[in-house]
A and B are shown apart, each in its own frame.
Chain A
Amino acid sequence: MTDLTIQTADSTTRTETSTVDIGEIRRVMEYYQQQQWTDGLPVMPVTESYLAEFLAQTTRRPDDVLFSVPHLNRDLTVRLAAINAALAGCLPEYFPVVVAAWEAIAQEPHPRRGIWQSTTGTAPFTVVNGPVRERIGLNCQGNIFGSGFRANATIGRAIRLALINAFGLRPHQLDQATQATPAKYTACIGENEEQSPWQPLHTEYGFAPGDDVVTAFVIRSVMHIEARHTQVPEQLARDFADTIRRTGALIHEYSNALLVLTPEHAQVFAGAGWTKDDVRTAVYENAVRTRAELAAVGKDALSRHTRWRLPADHPDATPDSASIGSDPENVRIMNGLGSVQIVVAGANNAGVSAVVEIFGLAPRERPSSYSKVAAG
Chain B
Amino acid sequence: MAAREALLDPTGMDERSADGTLAPRPTSLRGLTVGLLDNTKVNATPLLRGIADDLVDRFGAGDTRLYTKDYFGTPVKDELLRQIAAECDVVVTAVGDCGSCSAATVADGILFERAGIPAVSICSDSFAMSGAAMAQVQGFPGFEFITVEHPVASLDEKEIRQRAATVLPDVVRILGVGA
Report yes or no: A117 in contact with B42, Cβ–Cβ below 8 A: no
> Given A113-B71, A114-B100, A174-B103 in contact, is the A47-B133 Cβ separation under 8 Å?
no
Across the interface, name the chain B residue whose C-beta is closest to A77.
B12
Report yes or no: A80 in contact with B74, Cβ–Cβ below 8 A: no
Report yes or no: A37 in contact with B10, Cβ–Cβ below 8 A: yes
> Given A80-B12, A114-B74 in contact, is the A48-B103 Cβ separation under 8 Å?
no
Q: With a 10 A CB-CB cut-off, give which of A120, A162, A165, A176 has the most chain B CB atoms.
A: A176
Does B75 make an interface contact (CB < 8 A)?
A: yes
Does B137 make an interface contact (CB < 8 A)?
A: yes
Q: With a 10 A CB-CB cut-off, give which of B11, B42, B73, B138 has the most chain A CB atoms.
A: B11
Report yes or no: B7 in contact with A174, Cβ–Cβ below 8 A: no
Q: How many residues of B contact A (CB 8 A)?
A: 31
Cβ of A164 to closest chain B Cβ, rounded Å: 9
Report yes or no: A113 in contact with B73, Cβ–Cβ below 8 A: yes
Does A115 make an interface contact (CB < 8 A)?
A: yes
Contact with A along B134-150 (1 / 0, CB 8 A): 10111100000000000
List of A residues within 8 angstroms of B134 by Cβ: 72, 174
Does A257 make an interface contact (CB < 8 A)?
A: no
State the CA gap A114–B107 with chains docked (Å): 12
Does A173 make an interface contact (CB < 8 A)?
A: yes
State the CA gap A47–B133 with chains docked (Å): 27
Does A170 make an interface contact (CB < 8 A)?
A: yes
List of B residues within 8 angstroms of A49 by Cβ: 5
Cβ of B131 to closest chain A Cβ, rounded Å: 9
> Given A49-B5, A114-B74, A117-B99 in contact, is the A72-B137 Cβ separation under 8 Å?
yes
Report yes or no: A174 in contact with B42, Cβ–Cβ below 8 A: no
> Given A71-B74, A72-B137 in contact, is the A37-B11 Cβ separation under 8 Å?
yes
State the CA gap A71–B100 with chains docked (Å): 10
State the CA gap A173–B99 with chains docked (Å): 9
List of B residues within 8 angstroms of A176 by Cβ: 98-100, 102, 127, 129-130
Report yes or no: A31 in contact with B7, Cβ–Cβ below 8 A: yes
Report yes or no: B8 in contact with A168, Cβ–Cβ below 8 A: no
> Given A117-B100, A118-B73, A119-B98 in contact, is the A45-B130 Cβ separation under 8 Å?
no
List of B residues within 8 angstroms of A168 by Cβ: 11, 133, 136-137
Contact with B along A165-196 (1 / 0, CB 8 A): 11110101111110000000000000000000
State the CA gap A76–B107 with chains docked (Å): 19
Across the interface, name the chain B residue whose C-beta is closest to A43.
B10
Does B6 make an interface contact (CB < 8 A)?
A: yes
Contact of A48 among B5, B71, B133 (CB under 8 A): B5
Q: With a 10 A CB-CB cut-off, give which of A70, A74, A80, A114 has the most chain B CB atoms.
A: A114
Cβ of B163 to closest chain A Cβ, rounded Å: 19
Cβ of B85 to closest chain A Cβ, rounded Å: 18
> Residues on A close to B: CB < 8 A?
28, 31-32, 37, 45-49, 51, 70-77, 80, 83-84, 87, 113-115, 117-120, 161-162, 165-168, 170, 172-177, 305-306, 316
Listed from nearest, the 5 A-B pairs whose CB atoms lie closest are: A176-B99, A47-B5, A173-B133, A114-B100, A174-B133
